Amino acid sequence: MVLWKMCAFYSAYRRLLSEKIDILIVYLTNDIAPDVTITGLEKV
């Protein structure tokens, strides 16, 4: 994880989803974006 001006960047999305998050912005390749988005929304 790299923290820059209160933004966290992860190379593995599962690590991100283990954090308590308020906002999820997804910028991923089309092959994995749907799975990451759905998993993130289920955590809300």
In tens digits, the chain (44 residues) has pLDDT values of 555 567 777 888 788 778 887 776 767 889 988 888 888 888 76
- The predicted structure's pLDDT at residue 31: 92
Here the tokens at position 29 are 């390749």
| CA–CA gap between residue 42 and residue 39 (Å, rounded) | 5
Locate 5 and state its tokens.
């001006």
